[in-house]
Amino acid sequence: MTGQRMATRAAACATAVVLAVTGGTAAQAVDDIESLPAEQIADRSRDALLDVRSLHLRARGDLGENRSPMTVDLRLDRSGNCAGDVDLGKDKGSVEIVKRGDAVWLKPDSAFWENQVPVGGSAFESVLAGRYMKGSASDSRLRPVVEACDLDTFLELVSDNADNSDTAAGTFTKGRATSVDGVRTVPVTRTLDGQKLTAYVDTGGTHYPVRITVKGDGADAAVDFSGFDKPVPTATPSADETVDVSAVLGRAPAQS
C-alpha cells in the first residue's frame, strides 16, 4: 500500500530539520544559557534532546524539494510505543497511528484511500468501515510505521549527525530571547544550502529545543517538541474497532 510510507516520510522531514541545527562540539557548563555562544547553546539543546525517554513531536509545513506540506503529530518513546496521526495536507488524507508493544493500529480516512490508494482503496475502506487495521510490528508491510514510531531511531539520527557534523555548513548566530508557547527561549540560527534554520532553546531548567524552523529555498516548516519524559498514552483500540491487516490487504502477513 503506497500510503504505508507516509509516516516514515513525515518523520524524516522532522528529522531533517533537527539534524541541520544540532551539530557541534560539547558545551561548557554555564548556568546562564543566554550568555553562551550560539554554538554552545545548540549543543546544549542537542544533548538535552538525546537524554529524553519520551516526547511529543509535531512537525508541520513544507520542506521544499517539491514535497507537499504535511503535519505529523506523534507522542513516542524509546520502547517503540507511539500514538498520533499524520495528515498529508491538501485534502490528500490522514492516518491515525497507535503502536503499543508488538501491536500496530492504523486508521486511514476516506481522503487517504481515495488519493493514496486509487486502485482498490475504496474496497479497503469498505472492509474497514471506519475501524482500524491491526497488525504486528514484525509485519514487513508495517515496518515504515514502526520505524517512525521509534524514538530511539530518531535520536540515533541526531547523535550520528553530531558525530559527523559538517564544519562547512555555516556558523551559528544567536538572537534575542523570545517566547514560544509561553516558554522563554533563545534562538540560534544557521544557514544551510540556502535555508535558514533556527532552534528555539528553553532558557530555564533543561535546555530542550522547543521549536525548530526552516525557511527559504521553497521551505517553510516547523517542528515543535513538548511533553518531555511524559508517558505515551496507553489506550488502544478495542477488538470491535479493529480488523486484521491481512483481511484488508488480502494476503498473509509478510514476516521480517
DSSP secondary structure string for all residues of 68-112 = PPEEEEEEEETTS-EEEEEE-STTS-EEEEEEETTEEEEEE-HHH
CA Rg value for the chain? 19
Please answer whether residues 254 and 140 qualify as being in contact, where contact means their C-beta atoms are separated by less than 8 angstroms: yes
User: CATH assignment of 2-248, given 3.30.2090.10, 1.10.10.1100, 3.40.50.300, 2.50.20.20?
Assistant: 2.50.20.20
State residue 78's pLDDT score.
93
Statement: residue 30 has pLDDT above 80 = no
Residue 66's SS3 state is: coil
> pTM of the entire structure?
0.83
Over residues 211-231, the pLDDT tens digits come to 999 888 888 889 999 999 999
In this prediction, residue 124 has a pLDDT band, given cuts at 50, 70 and 90, of: confident
Q: Given the DSSP bridges, would you call strands 54-62 and 70-77 parallel, antiparallel or unpaired?
A: antiparallel
In terms of Cα–Cα distance, which of 92, 100, 102, 95 is closest to 132? 95
Share of the chain above pLDDT 90, in %: 46
Check residue 165 and give its pLDDT: 52
Tally: H helices and E strands in the chain: 7, 13
Task: Name the least confident of 34-43, 144-153, 214-223, 245-254.
Answer: 245-254
| 185 neighbors 201 (Cβ within 8 angstroms) | yes
* Contact predicate 127/96, CB 8 Å: no
The set of residues, in sequence order, having a beta carbon less than 8 Å from that of 66 and lying 6+ positions away, is none
Question: Of 177 and 65, which is predicted with more confidence?
Answer: 177
Would you kindly state where each structural domain of the chain is located, as residue ranges?
2-248
| Over residues 122-141, mean pLDDT | 90
User: How do residues 82-107 score in pLDDT, each as one tens digit?
Assistant: 999 999 888 888 999 999 999 999 99
On the question of pLDDT at 188 being above 90, the answer is: yes
pLDDT higher than 50, residue 158? yes
More confident residue, 254 or 45: 45
pLDDT tens-digit series, residues 32-62: 899 999 999 999 999 999 999 999 999 898 8
Cα separation of 65 and 163, whole Å?
26
pLDDT on residue 3: 44
| Cα separation, 204 vs 27, whole angstroms | 16
Cα gap 146→242, rounded to integer Å:
18
Task: Kindly give the interhelix angle for 151-163 and 6-19, rounded to the nearest 10 degrees.
Answer: 30
